[in-house]
Amino acid sequence: MFAADSGCWFTQKVLCWRAAASVAWSVLLLPASTAAFVVLSKLSVLHPVQMFADCVSVLLSAGSVFSFVLLAGVIIMVGFLTFEYYTVIPSIACSKVALLGQLLHPRQLLYCLAHGVMGVVVGWSCAVTIGYRYERLAYLCPQKDRDGLLHMCLNEHHLLLLLEGGFVGLSHSLLGVIQNLNYVSFGTVQQHKYLCFKASLPLAAKCSAAQAFYSVRNFVLLYFFLGHIPRAWMCKSLSLHLDSSAHPLDSISGLLDLSLLYLLWISATYLLFSWYMTLLLFRIFVTEAYSFPVQSTFTEEAPQCLPKVLSEKQPMILKFLALQDLSLLSQHSPSRRSQVFSLSQPGGHPHNWNAISKECLSLLADLTQRLVSYHETVATNGRTKSLSSGSDRKTSSESSGTEDLASCRPTFLMKTPASVFLRSVGAGPQSPLTSPFTPDLDSPFASPTLRQLTSPVDPGSPWHGVVQSPHVMRRAPKLWSTSTDSQRNGSPPASPATLPTPKPESSKPSFLAQFFQNRREQLPEASSQALFADGQAHIWALDGLSYLVQASFTEDQFGVVQTTLPSILSSMLLLQEAVDRHFKLPHASSKPVRSTISLGDSSHKTLRFALRATLKTAIYRITTTFGAHLHAVQLSAEHRKRLQHFLEYKE
């Protein structure tokens, strides 16, 4: 998957080993969590001795060894999938529809399917380990049938655990997309791997318990309503019978069995915990700082040196690790800094510094450019252009317009859910409501489960199911609604059953349509988050540059930094200007809602604040170091004025 051959050595020599080590550790830790699971599943306060004996016998039995091997296989598979799907730049969906698109991406579906299957396997292992009535899928029916023959009957308890495993695995993988579980973030402080792991262990336990609770609740509800379908299918395909004497489990009395619920919860927790451990270990191993040589005496090692590696595009993590290493060396390592400031032996060119500073500056210029063009789009149109969703400006602006209208009065464009489907299927591109993902509404994924899965993204946001929110009306610009007004009047009504009469009762059928309408609406601040999705790289570049410049005041013997100082300063000041302007936009400076307990890393949501703070600190670092000497640096008048603010500590 890493096509570029330049960064290939890194994938082969470092990344694969790191991933393998993390998987190996998670397999090694599996017996501990399995033992904990066995103890918890056999828990009985009244007979502790018997419980202990039970646990030991279960752990030493041949069946548990087999299931352990199976579980190890599952962990290896999970580790492999994590390795295949991880990313250092989070994919931020700018609208709910884009999120849906992410969820329904074939690659993602494969991921979900694999997790579902692995969940079933874990569920089977759990069932075998728990034993008792859960152990086998079929048992001999207690009653003979009319012919006097004995039949095999379906053990619904066993089936329940299997299905639960599959459900939890599936919901884990779906939630993973929403919470960006595959996003690997780099820690604020460097710590040894063991300490990192120890510190994150309680969180993993807490998260898995909480997540398991919600998953089991949803599963039980689902099974209550739809449980007969898989049961009948199982009976039919395996030619098993239903035990008429046993109580069916998809009833209130069947599901309100405390020991059953407890076991379901424990096994879901066990499943999630072992997977979260794998994920955590992977994150810890893969983000460990890697020290690249600054320069090498051998030419064949030149591609592995920091100046070369910095400019690599693929794999992305290589660039990130290189920038992290740059930031660390600039802060902590005088000897490696001296290599950066050194001159090449024949020729006397500061190749190292030139390459490093050029790459960092191009990163900063790239971000500046991105911010400026984003700002231009917003400033000229008064509407935001969505960045990552396929349905870009047109959809977003028009949906906002209609949504504005919908909140003011009942929409007339949509009467019934049927009209939504009709239009989405047949109306074609002239329809203002077309979006690439609308046909998926009638796909099997548009179940209550999905809706419930998409909602936890931002439970505090006004977009959470509420249509007539005051935020909606406030957010829509005035200019905009008039433009859609004219368009509305001009365009022929798409649905045959339209009458522009605002009647309160007509709002009722359009609720579903509005619901999806809101889902297509831009998420507040999501576009801003998406702009700064790779902000960590810029933060390191700023840190690295500013620390190197600071160190150059005393350590740079040949004055190599001096030549680039004007361009460093001006690019930082330009970026500062662009960032300042960006933060004046409505949603840019609003803080994201504190995420509830979850392992999903939400640090990407605050990257823009971190970048702003780092940028300011970086400029101050240079100005405090150089002080009045900066007056001698060639800068434009505007930048000089700006720099003067920094010199006087007025920013």
Partner 1 sequence: MCSLTLFPPPLQDGQTTLCESNNELLSGSNTQNASPMSLHFPRESLKLHSRTESSSKAAFLDHSETLWMRSAAAWRDGGLTGLLNEITDSNSEVPKWLSVGSGCILALLRWISSFHSSLFPHLTLSSEDMIAEFSQVLNWSDCVVRAFAWHPHTDKFAVALLDESIKIYNPKSTTTPTLKHRLQRNVAAMQWKPLCASALAVACQNCVLVWHVDPCSLSARPSSSCAQVLSHPGHAPVTSIAWSPSGALLLSASPMDTSMMVWDVAAESCVPLQRVGGGGVTFLSWSPDGSHVLASTPSALFRVWETRMWTCERWPCLKGRCQSGCWSPDGSRLLFAVEGETVIYALTFAGAPDISTSSLKGPQAAAVVADLSETTFHTEDGDLIVGGEIQSLAWDPRGERLAVLLKGDPQATNRPAIIAVFKTRTSPIFELLPCGFVQGEPGVEPRLMQFHPNFQHGALLTVCWSSGRITHVPFYFLTSAVPVVGLSGSPSLLHPLERPADFASQSLFTELLS
**In the numeric block, which tokens belong to residue 183?**
């996003």
Q: Which stretch binds partner 1 (CB under 8 A): 26-34, 233-241, 397-405, 599-607?
A: 599-607
Which residues 6+ apart lie within 8 Å of 202 measured at CB?
A: none
Which residues from 454-493 bind partner 1, rule CB under 8 A? none
Contact mark string toward partner 1, 264..303, x via CB under 8 A: ---------------------------x------------
Instruction: Identify which of 455, 457, 456, 453 has the alpha carbon closest to the alpha carbon of residue 170.
Output: 453
State which of residues 6, 603, 633, 640 lies at the interface with partner 1 (CB under 8 A): 603
**Residue 390 in contact with residue 436, Cβ under 8 Å?**
yes
**By CB under 8 A, is residue 45 in contact with partner 1?**
no
Q: Which is nearer to partner 1, 193 or 409 (CB)?
A: 193
**By CB under 8 A, is residue 616 in contact with partner 1?**
yes
- Per this entry, what is the length of the chain? 651
Which residues from 562-591 bind partner 1, rule CB under 8 A? 591
Contact mark string toward partner 1, 164..203, x via CB under 8 A: -----------------------xxxxxx--x---x----
The answer, yes or no, to whether the previous bond of 307 is cis (omega within 30 of 0) is no
Residue 453 backbone zone (phi > 0: left; psi -120 to 50: alpha; other: beta): alpha
Q: Which stretch binds partner 1 (CB under 8 A): 87-95, 316-324, 367-375, 608-616?
A: 608-616
State which of residues 55, 218, 606, 633 lies at the interface with partner 1 (CB under 8 A): 606
Q: Which is nearer to partner 1, 25 or 540 (CB)?
A: 540
Give the type of residue at 374.
Answer: Y
**Whole-angstrom distance, CA of residue 254 vs CA of residue 452:** 25
- 3-class SS letters over 462-498: CCCCCCCCHHHHHHCCHHHHHHHHHHHHHCCCCCCCC
State which of residues 44, 245, 489, 554 lies at the interface with partner 1 (CB under 8 A): 554
**Residue 76 in contact with residue 27, Cβ under 8 Å?**
yes
**By CB under 8 A, is residue 631 in contact with partner 1?**
no
Q: Which is nearer to partner 1, 187 or 509 (CB)?
A: 187
Tell the smallest beta-carbon distance from residue 618 to partner 1 (Å): 8
Query: What's 635's DSSP letter?
Result: -
Residues β-bridged to residue 241: 153
**By CB under 8 A, is residue 607 in contact with partner 1?**
yes
Which residues from 521-550 bind partner 1, rule CB under 8 A? 543, 547, 550
Q: Which stretch binds partner 1 (CB under 8 A): 75-83, 155-163, 299-307, 618-626?
A: 618-626
**By CB under 8 A, is residue 596 in contact with partner 1?**
no
**Whole-angstrom distance, CA of residue 303 vs CA of residue 492:** 61
Measured between alpha carbons, how far is residue 586 from residues 375, 376, 603 in Å? 12, 15, 21
Helices (H) and strands (E) in the chain, counts: 26, 2
Tell the smallest beta-carbon distance from residue 286 to partner 1 (Å): 18
**By CB under 8 A, is residue 446 in contact with partner 1?**
no
Tell the smallest beta-carbon distance from residue 542 to partner 1 (Å): 11
- Token pair 């006397």 in the structure block, residue: 348
**Whole-angstrom distance, CA of residue 439 vs CA of residue 419:** 12
**By CB under 8 A, is residue 130 in contact with partner 1?**
no
What number of CA atoms fall less than 13 Å from residue 51's CA on the CB side?
14
State which of residues 135, 366, 577, 651 lies at the interface with partner 1 (CB under 8 A): 651
Contact mark string toward partner 1, 309..348, x via CB under 8 A: -------------------xx-xxxxxx------------
Tell the smallest beta-carbon distance from residue 310 to partner 1 (Å): 17
Q: Which is nearer to partner 1, 47 or 198 (CB)?
A: 198
**Whole-angstrom distance, CA of residue 145 vs CA of residue 137:** 20
Q: Which is nearer to partner 1, 263 or 549 (CB)?
A: 549
**Whole-angstrom distance, CA of residue 131 vs CA of residue 67:** 13
Which residues 6+ apart lie within 8 Å of 395 measured at CB?
A: 386, 389, 434, 435, 520
Tell the smallest beta-carbon distance from residue 604 to partner 1 (Å): 10
**By CB under 8 A, is residue 236 in contact with partner 1?**
no
**Whole-angstrom distance, CA of residue 445 vs CA of residue 162:** 21
Q: Which is nearer to partner 1, 77 or 89 (CB)?
A: 89
The footprint of partner 1 on this chain (CB under 8 A) covers a number of residues equal to 43
What is the C-alpha radius of gyration for the chain, rounded to an integer number of angstroms? 30
**In the numeric block, which tokens belong to residue 469?**
């929110």
**By CB under 8 A, is residue 629 in contact with partner 1?**
yes
**How far apart, in Å, do the first and last CA atoms of the chain sit?**
46
- 3-class SS letters over 313-341: CCCHHHHHHHHHHHHHHHHHCHHHHHHHC
Q: Which is nearer to partner 1, 70 or 201 (CB)?
A: 201
**By CB under 8 A, is residue 625 in contact with partner 1?**
yes
Q: Which is nearer to partner 1, 423 or 621 (CB)?
A: 621
- 3-class secondary structure, 600: coil
Under the rule (CB under 8 A), what is the footprint of partner 1?
Answer: 187-192, 195, 199, 291, 328-329, 331-336, 543, 547, 550, 553-554, 591, 603, 606-607, 609-610, 612-614, 616-617, 620-621, 624-625, 627-629, 649-651
